[in-house]
Structure 1
């Protein structure tokens, strides 16, 4: 089966349905997997696409995730969370891995292209300025409260959505938004950026 962006959204499964399907999938039940696939494929593709951006790669990653669900359904533990959370966590991790892999590949190609190139004076100055700016951002991040720092890190450095950040931190969405707003205001003030 191929995950595509043109699938119509599946109706929301009843509570416990995905967990039951995963249990049957862990026993090799292909019909259960087909039902599970229909129920979660659209959500998996949506999440992956938000992270990966490229439609073709997103479909590929979503398919890999669903194959992983088929192969590792027995690892699901309902005591650790819902089936949808387990699947979406797997999808998010796989998508982030793909982005990191693509970035690492691009970085390697870039470094290979620069091997014989000695940077001009202006490039060296620019690198020093960027390094100093990064250090200033780090110092300003350290001045945030622990809760603000954690929220900003998840949302802006790890790529989590506000809702995902709220789920990871176990707080309400409004609380995350408030922490992020306050943290960004403090960062802006610390960095001396005009609003």
Structure 2
């Protein structure tokens, strides 16, 4: 390991040949996927090359040190894959809920619109025209009176009576 820490490529080649099969075996037991295990094994071997100067012979053998790094890397890969799967599942659940909410909202809006149209048919002609101009076209009471050529007090009364009838027809409680 001292020679590997000094950048000796032949020493690393010998270390690679000695440890790579053990590292791969440990990683494949954790990941259960050969392709991912090969990737993680390569990452571990690169870590051994880069971190060779950190190796402490008093803390344990090179094999133990390599096995520890390999196990940690493999577990990290499993956790990363699980986190990604959890995020995808959560996103799918949010999208599904959103789609359901949009459909439910559209249905509710359509039903309310149909009920409003039905209730509007129950108003007198002047009430219906006044309500439609005020609430669907955004006209003021004064503009509604001018448009319908009707005195403002009459429009106010018809609007009030029409809105009360709409409220009752729609089943709105005050």
Deviation at 1:74, TM superposition (A): 0.4
Which whole-Å CA distance do the structure 2 matches of 1:116 and 1:37 have between them?
47
Provide TM-score, normalisation by structure 2: 0.55
Report the number of matched residues.
Answer: 97
**RMSD over equivalenced CA pairs, Å:** 0.8
Unaligned runs of 5+ in 2: 98-174
Q: Distance in 2 between matches of 1:53 and 1:116?
A: 31
Map 1:63-74 to 2 at 5 A. 63-74=42-53
Once residues 87 and 55 of structure 1 are traced to their aligned partners in structure 2, the CA distance between those partners, rounded to angstroms, is: 19
In structure 1, C-alpha distance between the alignment counterparts of 2:15 and 2:50, rounded to whole Å = 13
Moved beyond 6 Å, runs of 4+: none
1:53 aligns with 2:20: no
- Which deviations, in whole Å up to 9, do the C-alpha atoms of 1:148-191 show, x marking residues without a partner? xxxxxxxxxxxxxxxxxxxxxxxxxxxxxxxxxxxxxxxxxxxx
Structure 1 partner of 2:125: none
TM-score (norm 1): 0.49
Structure 1: gaps spanning 5 or more residues: 1-21, 119-195
2:72 counterpart of 1:93: yes
- Larger CA Rg, structure 1 vs 2: 2
Which residue of 1, 7, 12 maps to 1:33?
Answer: 12
